[in-house]
Amino acid sequence: MATPISLRRDFDGPMLRALALSEKVGSVTRRLLALVTIYDGGTRADAARLGGVGPQTLRDWVLRFNAKGPGGLVDGKSTGRPSLLDDAQRRALVAMVEAGPIPAIHEVVRWRLIDLAQWVFDEYGLSVTKQILSRELRALGYRKLSARPRHHEHDEAAVAAFKKKVPDLLADIAATTEKPLELWFQDEARIGQKNKITRRWAERGTRPFALKDQRTASAYIFGAICPALGKAASLVMPFCNTEAMALHLQEIALAVEPGAHAVLFVDQAGWHVTAKLQVPENMTLVPLPSKSPELNPVENVWQYMRDNWLSNRIFKSYDDILDHCCFNWNKLVERPWLIMSIGTRQWAHGFAF
């Protein structure tokens, strides 16, 4: 039989009863009253019955109370199961995530949790589930995020040099025009019957279906956004050429505030930089560095529209494509906060003119 343990003498029954009356946590109140029973001369069996526990649990309460006072009766946060990975293994995991897989070696082009779990097992002999590995990566600050497009011949030095010269470039345009500037971004997207299929919620273990069309009718959305003001201007055209671009520039010019001047950032497609393109007087075109689509937020607008509005559809005809493109672009126009969220870039909007 375990040796009886006496309660500490710097507390008594009335003191614990007063603490119990002010306590808001029911489990702690029950423990305090159980100890009050002992202080008042009751048996340990009576105290355990009042607390709704067995003698061993009551003994644990007494030990915790004697060690830390009333605070010892409060349940601490569980530390949970210790992590399977140590700090060195976590650093190696982060290095693998940052480096990405080598297709010829790892046989995948992007990391999945199951691939990383296999790498952990091959490298350290540790068997971890996808759920555990997901928690580890999240604790390290990693999330599965949508990637911005980047050309395979991307020139980081050219992009950095362009961003550095943007303030001076805008200052020169503002000084020349003597008008307030509006910063616009422009791009085109092809929307057609050969449509994209996106991920969707479905019961685990099943494979959801989505309709897929093999016909080839298509149209082009010429889109432009002004993130600072949440404005947008667009045309849906059957072709992507200089004539269509000229019409779009006229549409953008109508959206520019009277008395303002638009600076329109465009990529270096042939119909953007040709000398044959007629540019409205209230607009200056600024070519982005070549092979740098990540600088153009309209690319992200297309991704958002495809993922949420335009994919997983069957377009009956060219006219049906036009209707959907116009309807969904107008839906974007009605949400200026979305344009601001998607389109704002610090390198372009970090200063005012």
- One domain for residues 40 and 96: no
- One domain for residues 57 and 125: no
- Element counts in the chain: helices (H) and strands (E): 15, 5
Q: Is 291 contained in some domain?
A: yes
Task: Give one word for 215, left, alpha or beta, with left for phi > 0 and alpha for psi -120 to 50.
Answer: beta
- One domain for residues 334 and 202: yes
Q: Is 146 contained in some domain?
A: no
Q: Is 46 contained in some domain?
A: yes
Q: Is 345 contained in some domain?
A: yes
Residue 1: predicted pLDDT: 47
- One domain for residues 208 and 341: yes
Q: Is 144 contained in some domain?
A: no
Residue 212: predicted pLDDT: 77
Q: Is 2 contained in some domain?
A: no
Task: Supply φ then ψ for residue 305, to 5 degrees.
Answer: -65, -40
- One domain for residues 248 and 342: yes
Domain boundary among 31, 51, 73: 73
Q: Is 214 contained in some domain?
A: yes
Residue 351: predicted pLDDT: 64
- One domain for residues 67 and 162: no
Q: For residues 192 and 313, give the distance between their C-alpha atoms in angstroms, rounded to a whole number.
A: 10
- One domain for residues 134 and 188: no
- One domain for residues 193 and 263: yes
**How much is the CA Rg of the chain, to the nearest whole Å?**
33
For the chain, list residues with pLDDT below 50: 1
CATH number at residue 234: 3.30.420.10
- One domain for residues 252 and 339: yes
Helix axes 113-124, 130-139, angle to 10 degrees: 90
Q: Is 259 contained in some domain?
A: yes
Domain count, the chain: 3
- One domain for residues 131 and 182: no
- One domain for residues 173 and 319: yes
- One domain for residues 168 and 133: no
Domain span including residue 343: 156-349
Domain boundary among 73, 98, 117: 73
Q: For residues 133 and 114, give the distance between their C-alpha atoms in angstroms, rounded to a whole number.
A: 9
